[in-house]
Amino acid sequence: MDSSMKVICMLMLLFASVVQASGCYDSIISFGDSLADTGNLLHLLRSNGHFVSSAAAFPYGETFFHRPTGRYSDGRLIIDFIAQSMGFPFVPPYIGVKNANKSNFIGGVNFALAGCPAMDPSSLAAMGIEDPFGSDASLGTQLNWFKEMLQTFCNTPSECKKYLQSSLVFLGEIGGNDYNGAFWQGIPIEEIKPLVPKVIATIASAINEVIEFGAETLVVPGNLPIGCSPSYLTYFMSSNESYYDSKTGCLNWLNEFTEYHNKLLQETLNRLRELHPHVTIIYADYKAAMELYNSPSKFGFNSTISACCGVGGPYNYNSNVGCKVPESSVCEHPSSYVSWDGIHLTEAAYKWIAHGLLKGTYMTPRISDACILKAPTISHCKETMKA
């Protein structure tokens, strides 16, 4: 490689490093649970004549939308912040738009469903694990919706493939509800740990399936640190101080369980990268949330392990009430709280986690790097520069 070409490549790489990733993708496709659901459960319940979703009532949505939208927070979720940062509109819930004009899918679609586990509820039931939210759905259900959408949206398989090749696919966070069902049932952690490889295998199978349809860039998030959740802190409250992190107040053993899940997930993603060398699989480390617990004042938080909306006990959480007005109280400033309702986080917390993913070191590789790799000329330069 001559010196002039090397200078050109250096300039190209420098320019590419500051280009927004939005230029590489035409749409965002999302799967997951309540951490990413932008309204699917709400629309699903309404279509079935039910109005029991807590996210269908105030104060959910109060901060940004000023009304309930089906999001389990006071405002925007991580997927919302990422979409906005890339110049996309909010990713619409599939159940809310599937009967509308198919042009609604052009900018992306969200299949995430609150309360949804990764594994099929019947498989969990066979292991003695109850579905904690009675969703009667799974990641497989979302994949069926995904295939249903493609049949409506695409005229030919090649058209579908082209659509997916230019899409950024978020597969997760998913798996948390599989563990919720087990932990909240009182099943010992020694019996829950064998469940983790099964959950990871289910996620891996979904990744393979989406890749087969044509997806070339996927973001797969790990799980949040459940040892910091007011729901778990309330359920497993103990007088044994050694169970807790003295700095954060979180339960160490539960956060170690989360780390175990995330470790197995990353190992599996490494194997999938070898199987699909043409696909970029990005791991999104939700350990970014630990920054908020370790240094709350740095991010403007006054309360980390108590719910903004709830009632009772040291963590302001009662599973029988949740965030339900007037039975529960709502904090005056949600932006100073990490936890919204004891299970889900506030918009402010999701904003900082999204910032850590997009601007920090919590994505491997980063979306901007994945964007560079999609450009053949730049990719060639990256390789030749190594020579």
Q: Residue 339 forms beta bridges with which residues?
A: 307, 345
Instruction: Quote the CA–CA distance of 346 and 335 in Å, as a whole number.
Output: 7
Look at the alpha carbons of 96, 98, 102, 107 in this order and tell me if their dihedral is positive or negative. positive
- Catalytic residue, chosen from 27, 30, 33, 34, is 34
Give the three-state DSSP class for 129. Answer: coil
Two tokens, residue 111: 């299949």
Residue 34 a catalytic site member: yes
DSSP string, 277-333: TTSEEEEE-GGGGHHHHHSGGGGT-SEEEEESEE-STTTT--TTTSS-TTTSEE-S-
> What gap in Å lies between CA 151 and CA 143, rounded to an integer?
13
Q: Is 344 a catalytic residue?
A: yes
In angstroms, the CA 196 to CA 203 distance is 11
For residue 28, the surrounding DSSP H or E stretch is: strand 27-31
43 annotated active-site: no
Q: How far apart are CA 256 and CA 273, in angstroms?
A: 26
Nearest Cα residue to 207 out of 126, 135, 268? 268
Known catalytic residues are 34, 341, 344
